[in-house]
Chain A
Amino acid sequence: MPATTKTTSQLLFNGILSENPIFRLALSMCPAVGITTTVMNGLLLGVAVLFVQVFSGCTIAAIKNHIHPRIRIPTYTLTIATWVTVIDLILAAYLPDAYKQMGIFVKLIVAFAIITMRLETFACKNTVKSSFWDGLGMGLGFLLGMMTLGFVRELLGMGTLFGYDVLGVRPLLFFVLPAAGFFCVGFMMAIFNYVELAYNRSKTAKQS
């Protein structure tokens, strides 16, 4: 794949809409299913992933000419692990309250497929600047996906939002369990696909 010709805003929206990591690429499903029991969890993990994605993308884009092609995957993993450790230590030191809630999940970011995939398909072929925007778009897409799932599951499962009681009752207690995460992801994917279909249909209808 040659270096990208997309503009900054195209790169940014690519990650949020047309290549949304959770709903379109269906990558990193474990956190999407396991962690999004509340909006806050989704938000915190999304922010952590955003930082790791941007920093790793920039690092790989900066040193791409020095990476031996045979050991590129170990190098990516090492880069991601380094940034994850840095984020983990900083969170533990300066945001102890947030860390208490999601400390164990932050370390799992090393294994998120979406980050390695972006490094392999994008950052190692593009400049630091476009990698930055791509990472930001992908991270934001992931963040929004996680928050949407958390919103639905927290509201339906616990009747609260951000920990505040909204409904007063718990409509579907089942939604806090991991299995319900799959339902949510499935429905969201269907919605995304439907919107795309409808959009394309209206476009072709206009042209003809």
Chain B
Amino acid sequence: MKELIRITTSLTLSCLIAGVVMGSVFILTDKAKRHNKQINISQTMLGLLGYDKDNPSPADLELYTVYRYIIEDGAVKTLGYMIPVETGAKGGFELVIIDLAGQFVNRFNLNITPENAAEPPERKAALNAVLKPPKRFTYADSTIIAKRGDKRMAYLLPGAFPGFKTFIHVMLALDPDFTIIGLDITEHEEDPGLGGEIQEDYFKNQFKGKSFERTRELLVIKEPLPKEYKQYLESGKGKELLKGVIDAVRAKYEYKDIYALTGATISSKAVTNGVKEMTSKFAYRLNIMDSVIERQHIPVAF
């Protein structure tokens, strides 16, 4: 019995000490970690828009985020868009509820500041205030709208789809006509050297400049990547080509399908289909959202 008590106390004590050590390290590093993540996301976004260290983003570039929620009221499902609006000095958010057929249902003012809106718990609290039980809501996705001056410049869509192993997380940039500006792979677990090559410029840059109509019919072809095209795709990485050559190669391959990666057809197809699906779904949703915004005269910020 005495033995048992000794074992129990020493195990509990060591667990406690371990917990305290881990907890304090977590508290010390949490801020830096979150900061890193934020920087990472904003760097990816600005990179897709064509800005980097040597070419900083202009001061009048503004990014607005629209959060999409799925609202369940019994068996009835509706979509809730948390839209940044221009009210007051700092701006706020409005929840616009649209049914599955695309018809406007209701709108609410949300008590949340733009700074707090990036935090999921803050958003949940603000939504709880207007969506009373038995209504339930789940977060679906978010869209970032880049605005320069008073014109929309691009849409940034974070998304995920199944790859060869697990989910591939991407960030897709579209211009106002839904032509692809760029694609970035933010997270993946494909085999390094094979499917892992999806994050290389010579694969992901193939999507650049594909128009909305072209994207819808995009296929994956199993042909070797032409050398000049590869050079063109990698031309952002210091291997500069002549200006005339760039334009010629771009024109030549603009309507081409996606060249599959050697030994990674499944990953190549997964990314292509994922991008296709994201683009078409987003275009459909945005048109509905924009028409509702216009008819309801919502003072949106973007």
Contacts of B262 in A (CB 8 A): 173
Partner of A85, one of B15, B22, B193: B22
A176 close to B7 (CB less than 8 A):
no
Mask for B20-40, Cβ within 8 A of A = 1, else 0? 011001100110110010001
Say if the beta carbon of A143 comes within 8 Å of chain B: no
CA distance A82 to B14 in the complex (A): 10
B11 close to A71 (CB less than 8 A):
yes
Instruction: Quote the shortest CB–CB distance from A120 to chain B (angstroms).
Output: 16
CA distance A87 to B25 in the complex (A): 9
Say if the beta carbon of A48 comes within 8 Å of chain B: no
A92 close to B192 (CB less than 8 A):
no
A82 close to B29 (CB less than 8 A):
no
Measured CB to CB, the nearest residue on chain B to A90 is B29
Contacts of B22 in A (CB 8 A): 82, 85-86, 89
B10 close to A93 (CB less than 8 A):
no
B18 close to A81 (CB less than 8 A):
yes
Instruction: Quote the shortest CB–CB distance from B241 to chain A (angstroms).
Output: 18
A68 close to B40 (CB less than 8 A):
no
B40 close to A86 (CB less than 8 A):
no
Contacts of A104 in B (CB 8 A): 189
B33 close to A89 (CB less than 8 A):
yes
Partner of B36, one of A67, A85, A86, A93: A93
A85 close to B32 (CB less than 8 A):
no
B21 close to A68 (CB less than 8 A):
no
Instruction: Quote the shortest CB–CB distance from B201 to chain A (angstroms).
Output: 13
Mask for A50-77, Cβ within 8 A of B = 1, else 0? 0000000000000000111011001100
Instruction: Quote the shortest CB–CB distance from A89 to chain B (angstroms).
Output: 5
Say if the beta carbon of A126 comes within 8 Å of chain B: no
Measured CB to CB, the nearest residue on chain A to B10 is A68
Say if the beta carbon of A177 comes within 8 Å of chain B: yes
CA distance A170 to B30 in the complex (A): 41
CA distance A90 to B193 in the complex (A): 28
Say if the beta carbon of A37 comes within 8 Å of chain B: yes
Q: Max chain B CB contacts within 10 Å: which of A37, A82, A94?
A: A82
A176 close to B193 (CB less than 8 A):
yes
A37/B192 contact (C-beta < 8 A), A78-B14, A89-B26, A90-B29 known:
yes
- How many A residues have CB within 8 A of the partner chain? 28
CA distance A89 to B24 in the complex (A): 11
CA distance A94 to B191 in the complex (A): 26
Q: Max chain B CB contacts within 10 Å: which of A70, A78, A89, A176?
A: A89
Mask for A79-118, Cβ within 8 A of B = 1, else 0? 1011001100110111010000000100000000000000
Measured CB to CB, the nearest residue on chain B to A101 is B192
CA distance A75 to B13 in the complex (A): 11
Say if the beta carbon of A157 comes within 8 Å of chain B: yes
Measured CB to CB, the nearest residue on chain A to B263 is A173
A78 close to B193 (CB less than 8 A):
no
A37 close to B18 (CB less than 8 A):
no
Partner of B191, one of A38, A93, A176: A176
Instruction: Quote the shortest CB–CB distance from B10 to chain A (angstroms).
Output: 6
A68 close to B193 (CB less than 8 A):
no
A96/B40 contact (C-beta < 8 A), A75-B14, A85-B22 known:
yes
CA distance A176 to B40 in the complex (A): 28
Say if the beta carbon of A158 comes within 8 Å of chain B: yes
Partner of A68, one of B6, B26, B29, B192: B6
A176/B29 contact (C-beta < 8 A), A78-B18, A93-B36, A96-B36 known:
no
Contacts of B14 in A (CB 8 A): 75, 78-79
Measured CB to CB, the nearest residue on chain B to A178 is B191
Contacts of A173 in B (CB 8 A): 193-194, 262-263
B18 close to A79 (CB less than 8 A):
yes
A92/B21 contact (C-beta < 8 A), A71-B11, A177-B191 known:
no
Instruction: Quote the shortest CB–CB distance from A202 to chain B (angstroms).
Output: 41
B15 close to A89 (CB less than 8 A):
no
Instruction: Quote the shortest CB–CB distance from A42 to chain B (angstroms).
Output: 12
Mask for B250-280, Cβ within 8 A of A = 1, else 0? 0000000000001100000000000000000
* A to B CB contacts below 8 Å, 15 in the list: A38-B192, A66-B10, A68-B7, A74-B11, A81-B18, A86-B22, A86-B25, A89-B29, A90-B29, A92-B29, A157-B193, A176-B191, A176-B192, A176-B194, A177-B194
Which 8 pairs show the lowest CB-CB distances between chains A and B?
A176-B193, A93-B29, A93-B32, A96-B36, A82-B18, A93-B33, A37-B192, A89-B29
Task: Please give 7 more A-B residue pairs, beta carbons under 8 A apart, in addition to A68-B7, A82-B22.
Answer: A37-B192, A38-B192, A90-B25, A158-B193, A173-B263, A176-B191, A177-B191
